[in-house]
Structure 1
Amino acid sequence: MPSAGTAPTIVYVACAEDREIAVLMLDPGTGALRELARTPVPGTNEPSPGSLPLALSADRRFLYAALRSPPFPVSSYAIDPVSGLLRHLGSAALPDSMAYLATDATGRHLFSASYGGSKLAVNAIDADGVARDATQVLATPPKAHSVRPDPANRFVYAACLGGDVVLAQSFDAATGRMDTTPRPVAATRPDAGPRHFVFARGGALLYVINELDGSINTYARDAETGALTELQSISMLPPGVTGRVAAADIHLTPDGRFLYGSDRTTNTLAGFRVDPATGLLSLATRVASEPTPRGFAIDPAGRFLLCAGLASGRVGIYAIDGATGALERVGAQRVGGQPNWIEIIRLA
């Protein structure tokens, strides 16, 4: 258990088969997880196919969860500031099955990306933290798989797996509207399949994980124009792996020194050192993951990586070596059917 006076670290794990969010507490010393509650995600009696994406508000006061079965509801939850437990506030409709959610820096807008529908959407968030119906829908190149605003809240980026492009739409936070025409700013290798991405160094760098060839691209980013310039592409796969794979998720440690990616074909987690001068990557570690590592997250202290095993129903717990970035498996926690998305906060 956390020591007296330590702010609790709370973990939210979306379980698509169960249509529930498991709420757990992370021991900051050992990484052990203890279940606090299971919160239903209402709106349909069908499982959420493939995933149940989550997103936190920038101030960590609200959590949003999207079911990927009709009528495609997004649920809004208030996070109790003392316990971390969730209270359902309301639901609204998304325009399609959405694979990814993100909020803007003001907490007034919810972005979503549809893989099957090839579209992005913006839903307004009211003063009480409740997501309302969509205010804008934008058609994209095939298979939009992720969407996030840049750190300055001026551009909305999206990775389109089927189009092999990354978009950067200008965004007006006052109106909640993006460019109405898709604006590609980077093209990957053909059939690489850009899937998820993270910003680094205040938005000066962008890292993209490519699902279909298991590579990670490093881009320099122009903060004024949103343009991307590729600096590096590096494989995260074990030696000897060829052909299409199923890379999934990507995250940086809070200090920006190490970057990790997951692959569902080889069931591995790969970690990279980030060069402090250039931002380029070099391999630091590779370990076995939970079966089908659909998503993972790193705790705010940068000490533990938690990996959801879609096929195992467990969350694997890995200690991060602060000097080398190496991962050591230290435990696992059963959470439910098809865990796929993890968010972690430290309560004030």
Structure 2
Amino acid sequence: MNRFKTALALLPLLCSPSVWATTFVYISNAESGTVSRYVLNEATGRLHWRGETPAGGKIMPLAASPDGQHLYGALRSPPYAIVSWRVTRPHGDLQRMAVTPVAASFPWITTDRRGHFLLAASYDSDIVTSNRIDSQGRVTEQVTGKVKTGPHAHSVITDVSNHALYVGNLGTDRVLQYAFSDDGVITPLGKGFVQGEKNSGARHSVISPDNRFVYNLAEMSGTITQFRRAADGSLTALKRWPNAVAKRYNLQHGEQRPAGYSDPTPRIWAADIQITPDGHFIYVTERTSSTVSGYRVDKASGELTLIGSWPVEKQPRSIAIDAQGKWLIVSGEKSAVISSYAIDPASGELKRVSEAPAGKGANWVTLIAQ
């Protein structure tokens, strides 16, 4: 009888989503030409490898639909294409739906916040595009928006309202700003850009959950620049923070790295930036030192305070944070594993808790909550 009562008492806990919740983790492997599939245990941070899905080429950036029903991947080896997969339950297996030809090699893709369009930035072709996604979740060949950027467009994100786009334009040291219509049309917003520091290499950006600030990570300087958003979506630069690890690892200022680049000098080579869902912490990667640095975000001003830096997988190109803001997932292009790191909710400190095998050239990390 006592055992029965104990079981009844534990039943609500055992049925709690926090105990059993899982997140699907997808890693693109550029050299293997596959997408690795994992399940992340939200209670423990443990990563469980589920298998590999062939992509059909050099797969790099990934993006999930807002409803978590579809995954998209860009093939950066000719013929260039976007692969659309259906995410099947309960294990997150991928069912290929379509392979859509595109005109360029894209190092960055994402969807708009409604899941109606796939947005892409091309480093080699200097363009940003919008392709319609059909009612079945497949990327189509219909291009609704296309703009010519300066050299080396590297990323594109939407604001929270879904009516503004921000592009990291590495070759011009600018963050470009565009209006984005409900029909997927892209047009310049204001003068169309905010100028950054010379030879910094504007790369990836994130937006604060309250839609007040944009933060851009520069590849060659490793700096983070904070921008304030106006009501119309236009940006004003506010403050800049230096790279957190350059002095510790004696890193020189970075350079653009065209095909065949070779330089024995240790240089800054920043890659990715992510913000927690509550907006409290920002994390960035630096590939030469193989580190992740974390910052606390001031709620009122949006200013950053360095928390610390941690060694991670070798050459970390991509990181992702789960929907609860508890776990940071890191892939390394030259690492045989990916890992999960616990985010301390009070301090923002990272602690490595789990690893799982990765493919060759582990590249992009994308998470889909169950």
TM range, smaller chain: over 0.9
State whether residues 61 and 81 of structure 1, in contact with CA within 8 Å, keep that contact through their aligned partners in structure 2: no
Q: Specify the alignment match of 1:90 in structure 2.
A: 98
Note the aligned Cα RMSD (angstroms): 1.8
The amino acid of 1:232's aligned partner reads K
SS in 1 for 2:128: strand
Structure 1: 5+ residue runs without aligned partners? none
Structure 2: how far apart are the matches of 1:152 and 1:97?
28
Query: Is 1:166 equivalent to 2:180 in the alignment?
Result: no
The amino acid of 1:25's aligned partner reads V
Q: Specify the alignment match of 2:228 in structure 1.
A: 220
Superposed CA offset, 1:39-88 (max 9, x none): 1113x4xx35xxx0001112221110001011111001111243322111
Offset, 1:343: 1.0
Q: Specify the alignment match of 1:264 in structure 2.
A: 287
Q: Specify the alignment match of 2:213 in structure 1.
A: 205
Q: Specify the alignment match of 1:341 in structure 2.
A: 364
Q: Which of 17, 22, 32 matches 2:31?
A: 17
Offset, 1:185: 2.8
Query: Is 1:137 equivalent to 2:120 in the alignment?
Result: no
Q: Specify the alignment match of 2:332 in structure 1.
A: 309
175-184 or 241-250: bigger deviation: 175-184
Offset, 1:289: 1.5
Offset, 1:29: 2.8
The amino acid of 2:156's aligned partner reads V
Q: Specify the alignment match of 2:88 in structure 1.
A: 80
Offset, 1:8: 2.0
Q: Specify the alignment match of 2:4 in structure 1.
A: none
Q: Specify the alignment match of 1:243 in structure 2.
A: 253
Query: Is 1:290 equivalent to 2:330 in the alignment?
Result: no
- The alpha-carbon distance between structure 1 residues 232 and 85, as it changes in their structure 2 partners (threshold 3 A), is same
Structure 2: how far apart are the matches of 1:105 and 1:30?
29
Superposed CA offset, 1:195-219 (max 9, x none): 0000103321101000000101111
Q: Specify the alignment match of 1:28 in structure 2.
A: 42
Offset, 1:242: 3.1
- The alpha-carbon distance between structure 1 residues 234 and 180, as it changes in their structure 2 partners (threshold 3 A), is closer
**Aligned residues between the structures:** 338
The amino acid of 2:116's aligned partner reads R
State whether residues 86 and 95 of structure 2, in contact with CA within 8 Å, keep that contact through their aligned partners in structure 1: yes
Superposed CA offset, 1:233-287 (max 9, x none): 1023323433211100000111111100000111110000001111100100111
SS in 2 for 1:203: coil
Structure 2: 5+ residue runs without aligned partners? 1-12, 255-267
- The alpha-carbon distance between structure 1 residues 26 and 157, as it changes in their structure 2 partners (threshold 3 A), is same
State whether residues 309 and 338 of structure 1, in contact with CA within 8 Å, keep that contact through their aligned partners in structure 2: yes
Q: Which of 145, 148, 162 matches 1:153?
A: 162
Query: Is 1:328 equivalent to 2:351 in the alignment?
Result: yes
Structure 1: how far apart are the matches of 2:191 and 2:114?
23
- Within 5 Å, which residues of 2 pair with 1:46-85? 47-48=58-59, 52-85=60-93
Query: Is 1:279 equivalent to 2:302 in the alignment?
Result: yes
State whether residues 338 and 356 of structure 2, in contact with CA within 8 Å, keep that contact through their aligned partners in structure 1: yes
Q: Specify the alignment match of 1:318 in structure 2.
A: 341
State whether residues 267 and 289 of structure 1, in contact with CA within 8 Å, keep that contact through their aligned partners in structure 2: yes
Structure 2: how far apart are the matches of 1:273 and 1:280?
8
- The alpha-carbon distance between structure 1 residues 271 and 181, as it changes in their structure 2 partners (threshold 3 A), is closer
State whether residues 93 and 134 of structure 1, in contact with CA within 8 Å, keep that contact through their aligned partners in structure 2: no
- TM-score, normalisation: structure 2: 0.87
SS in 1 for 2:171: coil
Structure 2: how far apart are the matches of 1:328 and 1:141?
39
- Within 5 Å, which residues of 2 pair with 1:183-202? 183-202=191-210
Offset, 1:3: 6.1
Superposed CA offset, 1:112-143 (max 9, x none): 00011111111111110000114143211110
- TM-score, normalisation: structure 1: 0.93
Query: Is 1:41 equivalent to 2:55 in the alignment?
Result: yes
Tell me which protein shows more helix as a share of its residues: 2
State whether residues 228 and 238 of structure 2, in contact with CA within 8 Å, keep that contact through their aligned partners in structure 1: yes
State whether residues 21 and 41 of structure 2, in contact with CA within 8 Å, keep that contact through their aligned partners in structure 1: no
